[in-house]
């Protein structure tokens, strides 16, 4: 019979995403956490909803709504991206902020977790309006952020240009330079080398460690990647350059496959020229659904959430799934993979390379000490591999799914910090 904690975490009024809920429900039951511990993790520490005016190009003023949720800061200042999306809700922001808390804890960097955003479709704004929305949002939340409080970063539909507007607006408010207030800045202005491909490379470091554990040979391991945005295309390019046969890739319009391996640099040029990967010479067109179940050894979902479900997980042929997207696998599919002995490397480790490099960027800005690319990569590799081995070791001890182990490790670290602070 489920205990009280277990019921609580599964109740309908919980807003955390279904995946977090079921994972945490299991952990509460297995670890026998107390109600106090559950309460402490259950609620965000600070949650802001702001409404701010923006003078549009037409001369008219329009009100926008923005959010910032600082979920937990026991392990350090809160950290997490800002997304601009027309369908953003405060519930999405809370779920994503909670995932950031777990992500920072599992890779053991000294941050809590946050997320924020503005309800807006950036495609409908001029460049000037985009800048004014960004600046208006920062004026609204400016007193609540800072290098030792809460540090934003890019997320869906926000980029380095927006990060610099954030920096500039914050510095105008403070009246001094504060480069560590935001990460994901351009390299030429307080940014860091390797930023653009840090999420993909961090995932690949973990992947190669996982391959050693299952005895997979990198020169023959065939890779399929769903998603050809920044993360998916960089992963394809890095793996191709390392000599892996990348047999299938896709974007939102569909995918391409070639059993002998695709020429990824040429496929990138083809996409730049035609706007899509389809009809790339020497390959066959496939759907996004077909890509997930194609004949490959490593599957990398790097696009949307909820792609691997109970409906297709049985048919997946890969032996390793590396979740570069956030939440691409449903709970049911997770179970199927575990039974089939497919090694699933969960998102909170697999795609943590971005926030790890954000940590380096913040640290460089605070110390005014800028590192060579080699040092950035070396430190990224160490952190990613240590996190993977911590979680993999726990899987062996507990004989559980890797996602469960990653959540468990993160929750234990967060609660330990709360205990040391005297909050528990
Ligand atoms: N938005 C990214 C993430 O969700 C980066 C966050 C950061 O660097 O703070 O991991």
Q: How far is the CA of 331 from the centre of ligand 1 (A)?
A: 23
Distances (CA, A) of 106 to 42, 153, 413, 414: 18, 19, 8, 9
Ligand 1 pocket check for 361: Cβ under 6 Å: no
Distance (Å) from CA 82 to ligand 1 centroid: 8
- What pLDDT is stored for residue 17 in this prediction? 61
Atom of ligand 1 nearest to the CA of 183: 8
Tens-digit pLDDT profile for residues 327-343: 899 889 999 999 999 99
The percent of residues above 90 in pLDDT, for the chain, comes to 83
Q: Where in the chain is the domain with CATH 3.40.50.10860?
A: 45-191
Can you tell me which atom of ligand 1 is nearest the CA of 351?
10
User: Ligand 1 in contact with 80 (CB < 6 A)?
Assistant: yes
Question: How does the average pLDDT of the chain come out, rounded?
Answer: 92
* Best probe residue, ligand 1, of 302, 352, 358 (max atoms within 8 Å of C-beta): 358
DSSP assignment letter at 46: E
Q: Can you read off the two tokens belonging to residue 71?
A: 């979920």
**pTM of the predicted model as reported, rounded to 2 decimal places:** 0.93
- Residue 355 token pair: 């926030």
- How far is the first Cα of the chain from the last one, in angstroms, to the nearest whole number? 27
Record: fold of 45-191: Rossmann fold (3.40.50)
Q: Is any atom of ligand 1 closer than 6 Å to the C-beta of 107?
A: no
Q: Is 173 helix (H, G, I), strand (E, B) or coil?
A: helix
CA–centroid distance, residue 197 to ligand 1 (Å): 13
Where in 304-375 does DSSP place strands (E)?
Answer: 320-322, 343-345
φ, ψ dihedrals at 401, nearest 5°: -65, 155
pLDDT tens digits for range 189-232: 999 999 999 999 999 999 999 999 999 987 789 999 999 999 99
Residues near 300 by beta carbon (within 8 Å), at least 6 away in sequence:
203, 223, 224, 225, 226, 232, 235, 321, 322, 324
pLDDT digits 0-9 by tens, 345-397: 999 999 999 999 999 999 999 999 999 999 999 999 999 999 999 999 998 87
Residue 82 pLDDT greater than 50, yes or no: yes
Active centre residues (catalytic): 115
Q: Give the nearest ligand 1 atom to 79 CA.
A: 9
Q: Is 152 in the pocket of ligand 1 (CB under 6 A)?
A: no
* 183 Cβ closer than 6 Å to some ligand 1 atom: yes
Of 167, 195, 192, nearest to 181 (Cα)?
A: 167
* pLDDT tens-digit map of 42-74: 889 999 999 999 999 999 999 999 999 999 999
Q: With 90 as the cut, is the pLDDT of residue 258 above it?
A: yes
Higher pLDDT, 285 or 32: 285
Q: What percent of the chain has pLDDT over 70?
A: 95
Specify the pLDDT at position 18.
64
pLDDT digits (tens, 9 = 90+) for 118-176: 999 999 999 999 999 999 999 999 999 999 999 999 998 899 999 999 999 999 999 99
Residue 359 Cα to ligand 1 middle (Å): 10
CATH code that applies to domain 192-424:
3.40.50.720
Helical H segments across 35-126, by residue range: 35-42, 90-106
Q: Structure tokens of 239?
A: 């793996």
CATH 3.40.50.720 in the chain, residues? 192-424
Tell me if 116 CB under 6 Å of ligand 1: no
């Amino acid at each position: 019979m489920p205990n009280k904690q277990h019921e609580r975490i599964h109740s309908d009024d919980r807003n955390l995403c279904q995946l977090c809920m079921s994972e945490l429900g299991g952990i509460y039951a297995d670890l026998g956490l107390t109600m106090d511990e559950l309460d402490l993790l259950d609620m965000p520490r600070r949650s802001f909803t702001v409404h701010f005016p923006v003078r549009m190009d037409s001369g008219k003023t329009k009100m926008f709504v923005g959010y910032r949720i600082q979920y937990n800061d026991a392990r350090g200042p809160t950290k997490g991206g800002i997304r601009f999306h027309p369908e953003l809700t405060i519930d999405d922001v809370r779920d994503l902020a909670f995932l950031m808390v777990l992500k920072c804890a599992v890779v053991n960097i000294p941050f809590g977790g946050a997320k924020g955003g503005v309800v807006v479709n950036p495609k409908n704004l001029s460049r000037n309006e985009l800048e004014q929305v960004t600046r208006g949002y920062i004026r609204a939340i400016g007193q609540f952020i800072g290098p030792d409080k809460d540090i934003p970063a890019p997320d869906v539909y926000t980029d380095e240009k927006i990060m610099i507007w954030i920096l500039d607006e914050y510095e105008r408010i403070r009246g001094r330079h504060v480069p560590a207030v935001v990460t994901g800045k351009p390299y030429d202005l307080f940014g860091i080398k390797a930023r653009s491909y840090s999420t993909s490379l961090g995932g690949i470091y973990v992947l190669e460690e996982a391959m050693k554990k299952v005895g997979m040979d990198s020169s023959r391991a065939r890779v399929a990647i769903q998603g050809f945005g920044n993360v998916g295309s960089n992963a394809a390019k890095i793996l191709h350059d390392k000599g892996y046969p990348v047999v299938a890739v896709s974007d939102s319009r569909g995918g391409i496959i070639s059993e002998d391996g695709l020429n990824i640099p040429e496929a990138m040029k083809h996409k730049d020229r035609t706007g899509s990967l389809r009809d790339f010479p020497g390959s066959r067109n496939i759907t996004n659904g077909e890509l997930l179940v194609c004949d490959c050894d490593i599957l990398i979902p790097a696009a949307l959430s909820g792609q691997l479900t109970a409906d297709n997980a049985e048919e997946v042929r890969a032996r390793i799934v590396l979740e570069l997207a956030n939440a691409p696998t449903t709970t049911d599919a997770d179970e199927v993979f575990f039974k089939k002995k497919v090694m699933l490397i969960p998102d909170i480790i697999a795609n943590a390379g971005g926030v790890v490099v954000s940590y380096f960027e913040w640290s460089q800005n605070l110390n005014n000490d800028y590192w060579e690319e080699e040092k950035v990569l070396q430190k990224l590799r160490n952190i990613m591999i240590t996190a993977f081995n911590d979680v993999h070791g726990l899987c062996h001890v507990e004989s559980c799914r890797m996602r469960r182990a990653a959540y468990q490790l993160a929750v234990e670290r967060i609660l330990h910090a709360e205990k040391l602070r005297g909050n528990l």
